[in-house]
Structure 1
């Protein structure tokens, strides 16, 4: 049940959840299009500070971001961000984007403001002009951004928060506090911490941020994205950690996936080998009494039918939406992926080493992108965005930050072996570039994109050649695959 007095939405949960993919792939146009069909549209909350800053520097075509910022509850903050990043008409070709403050443990007012406003704007635009439901997806791994990001999304009345790539045990309490504009924080993992009792945190003080306390906010529902019934049971055990539901993600889903249980074994193609231990016991999840959705290989009517038969509330679908017209992927890259997939020429590899986060990561193999070894080798190693940096305790006791995708000599100086850097791709820059927002430099250098997709492409069957988000929804919910009813409210 929703927490008493939390102001949780009363709408029934959706049958279909649109995945919150990549950086800006699940942008507000896509989430809005899905929400208009009556299903749950989801924006990706990853690196929205960079996305907002760079779109403003491109001149904000259509004026959408400026329209959203005009409604932010602190005009002074919105004006500061526009003054810093908005470039009328856009930057000239070859002019680099202005950097944004990097994530860190030390409080930074400019960073908190940009993060909150960016999340507010994305959710505001996704919800604008309709009463459909909109969610936001975060990675638990990016802990230092979470409090300000969630607060910004809540200021825009986000309906759901979805969180994966970690254990979101502190997020229910974060949502409770932020709904009342109370100061809130979460723990941040610091590597090589000498004192096990020392706790590092990232937080936000809403009243300090805004300069005033608005009326209490509606608390969004939390869906934990997990790949294990054991983790689901752990989170459900206490009201302090319990979400309002689960998304159960299989290894077929795009982006990050959980590593196999036990010792890592690689197959002939160099991909992790999954076995019976990695299968989720759906009966045990159902016994927890919370709604759940299945993700990864369920983007067809048959996939939905199987999910409903297994007791699920519905399915989460990602890759089908990643290739639709409203997707935030760069248009040329999206069309190329579609053409290759329809021709049976698209391979998606689950790379165990590519992500600096340490999770296996799906990479669509497309020449000219970071999947190409020559392109990867030619890219200068640098870490100028830093969303996947790990805080660590330096020998002198101070906090430092490192990333396996940074220059090898720097990583070694920070106490890690050179082997940690082998095969690592810069996901931050690569995924931003996939959305058409890659950094460019005055010497002509442009960041190459990195493309991710799920490994099951059967969803393309039955879809038009150049299809819309509404086409995906209609296809998945088509009565030929399942007889649909109205799901009962979360937790009831």
Structure 2
């Protein structure tokens, strides 16, 4: 099999892969049809699929994509189990996807394969633009099924960060040939003579290439998200297959950030302190000879031009796209967030919020779990489980050989401690799974009528939105980055600062 061929010309703008449906198919399609690289998120795709079906799939898009899934039996099983004509009744919680374990991966994996296909198929429907999928390396239990689904739908790129995705190129190679894909599962405390692997065989899901009448699937281009040129060099030379380029992420990017190199030091607000050691050497990146895109703090015309002058192929931008009307963010949350940002709401890099141990940027909105009082009032529960860590339970398996268990620092404290976790690790941890589902408009109704609250993440560029109008599209964002459109509010702010009147340029909203 030959290596994938990068499209020419390369996309200059990659839309960020904001997790759990903020980067949904509608946003990715809007960006791709504008000639740039649209990205769908594969994170939480099984729950996203099932919750859309339980809300009645009002526009029929999910069912339209399901009708194209290569194995109709799997698509029909998802419909039979989760679809509710007209949506849930008032006060009815979402039916959950059963949490997978190492010994029982289905139905979660089956639904994630189907969900990855649906999201990618819809993003690619009706145009010839480029679409990619973003996943978090840390979410090892939930990584390879969406990749298979996306490849069945012809995904063009795969982008992965939050860890070292060394095994992924080989998974893409194998899936392209209809062969099983496998990754090493990091298990805390696992004996050195053990090596737990997670393997997905397409044939087990009736998706072998022979039954589909195919000789191979398109192997997507793989772009790891890295913060260090050293990691880029390692992946370029020692990954399990080909790497076609890199996204270089600065600490100003939203979502999960890589921890600072060296000993963790915090500023007066309790945020990690980053320095020169945490920035990639761009000369070293240029010497690698592979294309790269800059992410984090590049979301402006000036940042775009600066990236090109540094030899980058372009930039990746998340925050501006997250707040556009094409994104999957709940519209009420979007409007309230923009209002509070205009009123001075800040952004904090929280070293504790994420159960992964990675720093996580959180917009400080009063009606979300960023509010310490609302966080304290929430009943702890782990009912989605994407961020659970694997650990070794000595003597717990058959014949006392031990087995792999799963735990999350955001689950009930007594449960986590009983599984061998430390009490200190639970302090300040937030349920990102439920919070991010709520961001996209799919909050779970828990026992006792407790509706899960959002927890919104953004990059440092969110501050500039204080000067933007309330509604703008993905096409507006692209026009802004290319110097072809100026936000009305930003122009007004700039004019007020300079004393010069700038012409008002109307938004393109409503003209797509």
TM-score tier by shorter-chain length is over 0.9
What are the Cα deviations for residues 1-46 of structure 1, in whole angstroms up to 9, with x where unaligned?
A: xxx5245454432000000002110101111100010000001110
| Aligned position for 1:420 | 425
| Match of residue 207 from structure 1 | 203
Of 89-98 and 455-464, more deviation after overlay is shown by 455-464
Give the equivalent residue in structure 1 for 2:259. Answer: 259
Q: Is the 8 A contact 1:148 1:203 kept in 2?
A: no
Q: Could you say if the C-alpha distance between residues 238 and 417 of structure 1 is closer, same or farther in structure 2, counting changes exceeding 3 Å? A: closer
- Cα shift at 1:144: 1.5
CA distance in structure 2 between the aligned counterparts of 1:27 and 1:296, rounded to whole angstroms: 20
The residue that corresponds to 1:484 in the other structure is none
Q: Does 1:280 align with 2:280?
A: yes
Counterpart of 1:388 in 2: which secondary structure?
coil
User: How far off is 1:395 after superposition?
Assistant: 2.4
5+ unaligned residues in a row in structure 2: which ranges? Answer: 396-401, 487-512
Shift of 1:75: 0.7
Contact 2:184 2:196 in 1 (8 A): yes
Provide the C-alpha distance between the structure 1 equivalents of 2:220 and 2:290, rounded to a whole number of angstroms. 16
Describe the SS at the equivalent of 2:40: strand
Q: Partner residue of 2:341?
A: 341
Flag the 1:341–1:173 CA change in 2: closer, same or farther, 3 A.
Answer: same
1:90 to 87, 92, 101: 87
CA distance 1:8–1:376, change in 2 (3 Å) = same
Query: Greater CA deviation, 101-110 or 240-249?
Result: 101-110
* Cα deviation code 1:378-421 (max 9, x no counterpart): 10111111100011111221221111101111111111220110
**Helix, strand or coil: the match of 2:158?**
strand
Partners of 2:5 and 2:221 within 8 A in 1: yes
Of 272-281 and 369-378, more deviation after overlay is shown by 272-281
Q: 1:33 aligns with which of 30, 35, 45?
A: 30
**Partner residue of 1:407?**
412
How many residues matched? 476
Q: Is the 8 A contact 2:178 2:208 kept in 1?
A: no
Match in the other structure for 1:447? 452
Work out whether 1:72 is the aligned partner of 2:69: yes
Per the alignment, residue 486 of structure 1 pairs with none
- Sort the Cα spacing of 1:472 and 1:480 in 2 relative to 1 into closer, same or farther, 3 A: closer
Runs of at least 5 residues in structure 1 that lack an aligned partner in the other structure: 482-492
Residues 320 and 461, structure 2, Cα contact 8 Å, conserved in 1: no
Q: For residues 207-226 of structure 1, what are the alpha-carbon distances to aligned partners after superposition, in whole Å with 9 as ceiling and x for unaligned?
A: 22125423111110000001
Is 2:67 aligned against 1:46? no
Distance in 1, matches of 2:69 and 2:456, equals 33
Alpha carbons 1:170, 1:240 under 8 Å: kept: yes
Structure 1 counterpart of 2:491: none
Q: What are the superposed Cα offsets for residues 181-200 of structure 1, whole Å, 9 maximum, x if unpaired?
A: 11111111011112x13211
Secondary structure of the structure 2 residue equivalent to 1:247: strand
Partner of 1:487: none
- Matched with 2:350 is 351
Match of residue 143 from structure 2: 146
Using structure 1 for the length normalisation, give the TM-score. Answer: 0.94
Alignment of 1:125-274 (within 5 A): 125-194=122-191, 196-210=192-206, 212-213=208-209, 214=212, 215=214, 216-238=216-238, 240-274=240-274
Q: What is the DSSP-based 3-state SS (H/G/I as helix, E as strand, rest coil) of the residue aligned with 1:172? A: helix
1:105 Cα deviation from its structure 2 partner: 1.5
In the aligned structure 2, how far is the partner of 1:130 from the partner of 1:354? 39
1:122 maps onto 2:119 in alignment:
yes
Q: Residue 493 of structure 2 aligns with which residue? A: none
Q: 1: distance between equivalents of 2:240 and 2:116?
A: 25
Distance 1:10-1:253 versus aligned 2 partners, 3 A rule: closer
Structure 1 residue aligned with 2:499: none
Distance 2:89 2:484 in 1: 51
Residues 418 and 124 of structure 1: CA distance in aligned 2, closer, same or farther (over 3 Å): same
CA distance in 1, matches of 2:83, 2:38: 28
How far apart in 2 are the matches of 1:288 and 1:6?
17
**Contact between 1:7 and 1:217, CA under 8 Å: does it hold in 2?**
no
Tell me whether 235-244 or 41-50 shows the greater mean CA deviation: 235-244
Compared CA separation, residues 422 and 84, structure 1 to 2 (3 A): same
Give the superposition deviation at 1:148: 1.3
Is the CA contact (8 Å cut-off) linking 2:439 and 2:454 kept in structure 1? Answer: yes
Higher relative contact order (CA 8 A, sep 6+): 1
Which secondary structure does the structure 2 equivalent of 1:287 belong to? helix
- Name 1:298's counterpart in structure 2: 298
Residue in structure 1 matched with residue 442 of structure 2 by the alignment: 437
Note the 1:450-461 alignment, pairs <5 A.
450-457=455-462, 459-460=464-465
